[in-house]
Structure 1
Amino acid sequence: MSKQIVAIYPGTFDPISLGHEDIVLRAAAMFDKVILAVATAHHKKTLFSLDERMAMARETMASHPQVEVVPFTGLARDFVRTHNATVIVRGVRTVTDFDYEFQLAGMNRDLMPDVETVFLTPSAKYQFISSTFVREISLLGGAGDGQNLVSAGVYKRLMAKKATAS
């Protein structure tokens, strides 16, 4: 019997975008199980609480049974070990992303020599999307309020945030 390959895709997902979804689905096609690890983000000020980010990610991934959404805090190393994962998935859109992710992968390799980091690029139509852009466009009233950047459920929550901020 072959060993199930578990991949971890960590991030803050504030909010989860179509670009994130694209990376998750690409990873799900490659690995037996993908854990979307939603970070508590103690080092960042997030628009959405952890519970809200978890709910959006679970809703977005509901039709993909091989994807599990789990909260995480602390070092990725500990999370990876707890979930018996052997792969960390990272999305890369730009050279700037790659530079940061390459350094992070090197550190993770030092901490976990038996865990591989896999870089995935999103489809061309999603390469420009970042959660920062999604938040700014949605809350500041950009073209379409970012409706083409996130799923319908996430968009609804963004508009609710916008309404309460006004």
Structure 2
Amino acid sequence: MKKSYLLCSLAVLCGIGMVHAGTPNQPNIYLGFGLSEALADNPYEDQPGVEVDNQAAAYRGIIGYSLLPNLAIEAGYISFGEFSATMKTPFGSATESVSLSSPLVGVKAYAYKNREWGVFGKAGLPYYGGGVSWYYGGRGSLNMSFERYQVNEAAINSVSLELLAAF
């Protein structure tokens, strides 16, 4: 948990200190939808007879507000789908499944290479990550990112494709 606060603070400081050359003309409010491939850490990897399905498709929705040309706050929701574990014994098997989801609140700091490409980092509760953006039409972007989430007691890695539209 302290790691999340440290990364969140670092993202804010980096975002405030960035020089933004060639900033696209972005309005302040944006909405986004993303699809991800989520991979949860396997707590049973050393236990024989336990099969884990720790991969799932995830989706999320976000709303963001640009405070500065290179710093935004975001809020949203992510659903990771269902993960399961099956224990096999000589007497049969038992399966346990869990569906994970979480609200998201964080900051996003970004820098632009030119009017079409940029990089970003983001951190918040319960996640941190970064990626690249391709800007189109002055009002939207397509983002590809990697994020690490801590939901309940599960650590989840996610590779995402996200579409943002600014208003």
Range into which the TM-score falls when normalised by the shorter chain: under 0.3
TM value normalised by structure 2:
0.23
TM value normalised by structure 1:
0.23
The structure with the largest strand share of the pair is 2
The structure with the largest helix share of the pair is 1
Q: Which has the larger radius of gyration?
A: 2
